[in-house]
Amino acid sequence: MMKNIAIIGAGVSGLTAAHALKYKAHVKLFDKSRGVGGRMSTRYAGAYEFDHGAQFFTARDSRFQKVVELAIDQGVVAPWHGRAFYKKGTALEVDIGSDRFAAVPRMNSWPKVMAKGLDISLGARVSKLTRDDKQWELHFEDGGIQAGFDHIICAVPSVQAIELLPDNFSGMEALKSVQMDACFALMIGFDQLHDFGWDSLRVNDDVNAWLAVNSSKPERNKDVTTLMIHSAPQWSNLHADADREWVQAQMERSASEICGIDISAAPHRALHRWLYSSVSASPQKGALHAQALGLTACGDWCLGGRVEGAYLSGLAAADALISQC
């Protein structure tokens, strides 16, 4: 008899695990959001679109490289040949690194393709897990319950996994060692075209860490200029609960100095807070697995962040279960 597996979280890790297991078990995903993809997400505002989570991804592991190549063939991923620089003092240095890729025509396009054919419940926030002698029940914030699961994969940020998983979960110590940093994403839409001389810019700034011309990515709307600004991790952690208007003003001031224009004069400005964004401390394990309890935890935080890390962690979570299915 095929096992019933619940996956909490329909980001890249959860979707990857589901695909690897779908022919071996009955798999159902639950996510609190309105869409799939986690931080591979896109915000819309009229003619403006912003990839306000993951900006791009690289592919170093051969397994992920094959997946990216397939996605390119499917037309949902393309290379991003943007002008990439570091800002060091007043000078700009070329940001040389691995090839960059972006989902097209927007960052959430690839997760949407990954989600096809999977059993996914959106807007379903899991608040508690309970277990009888053999199986798990999922309790939802709206009072609903779904029972009969032989195994649960928590593909959510580490802090949320700690809240859900029992104290006797064998990976709890590793979970608690993870440091996930907050990040504010400031979305700027201009009513005229701008060329800043770069398409992405890493900055050594107390407030901001990253600026990118979102509209420079492949298959984006080139009739407008959209700018994404991400705040620096330490600054974000310190001010995670600060007044949003103050946060936005500080980020706009810093970005205005860098860009040489008054960011606060742009017709569209919006701020989003990612409470769990980048990863500054990681267990460096593919997934945390407790077979006897029927529990697994995975996510990009297992391997230090990044979209590739999320994929590899989801794959590791599934691999640990396939032999048991």
Q: Which of 275, 293, 311 is the last residue of a domain?
A: 275
What pLDDT, on the 0 to 100 scale, is given for residue 218?
A: 98
Residue 83 included in any domain:
yes
How is residue 175 written in tokens? 């979970």
195 in the same domain as 270: yes
What pLDDT, on the 0 to 100 scale, is given for residue 98?
A: 87
32, burial (CB in 10 Å: exposed 0-12, middle 13-18, buried 19+): middle
Overall number of domains in the chain: 2
Cα–Cα dist 325/306, whole Å:
29
Q: Is there a contact between 51 and 226 (Cβ–Cβ < 8 Å)?
A: no
Residue 254 included in any domain:
yes
Cα–Cα dist 39/193, whole Å:
27
171 in the same domain as 130: yes
Residue 220 included in any domain:
yes
154 in the same domain as 54: no
Cα separation values, 72 from 59, 83, 104, 125, Å:
12, 21, 9, 33
**Contacts for 323 with CB less than 8 Å, ≥ 6 apart:** none
Q: What is the pLDDT of residues 278-287, one digit of tens each?
A: 999 999 999 9
314 in the same domain as 187: no
139 in the same domain as 267: no
* Amino acid, res. 31: D
Residue 56 included in any domain:
yes
205 in the same domain as 233: yes
| Residue 2 CA from chain centroid, whole number | 30
What pLDDT, on the 0 to 100 scale, is given for residue 309?
A: 97
What pLDDT, on the 0 to 100 scale, is given for residue 133?
A: 80
206 in the same domain as 248: yes
**Owner of token pair 């309970």:** 130
Residue 76 included in any domain:
yes
143, burial (CB in 10 Å: exposed 0-12, middle 13-18, buried 19+): exposed
Residue 38 included in any domain:
no
Low-confidence ranges of the chain (pLDDT < 50): none
11, burial (CB in 10 Å: exposed 0-12, middle 13-18, buried 19+): buried
Residue 115 included in any domain:
no
Residue 114 included in any domain:
no
95 in the same domain as 76: yes
What pLDDT, on the 0 to 100 scale, is given for residue 46?
A: 93
19 in the same domain as 60: no
Strands (E), 71-219: 77-79, 84-88, 91-94, 101-103, 119-122, 126-131, 136-140, 145-149, 151-154, 179-180, 183-190, 200-203, 208-213
What CATH number is attached to the domain comprising 152?
Answer: 3.50.50.60
What pLDDT, on the 0 to 100 scale, is given for residue 76?
A: 97
188 in the same domain as 89: yes
197 in the same domain as 102: yes
Cα–Cα dist 27/244, whole Å:
39
Domain hosting residue 304, numbered range: 4-32+123-177+283-322
55 in the same domain as 159: no
What CATH number is attached to the domain comprising 101?
Answer: 3.90.660.10
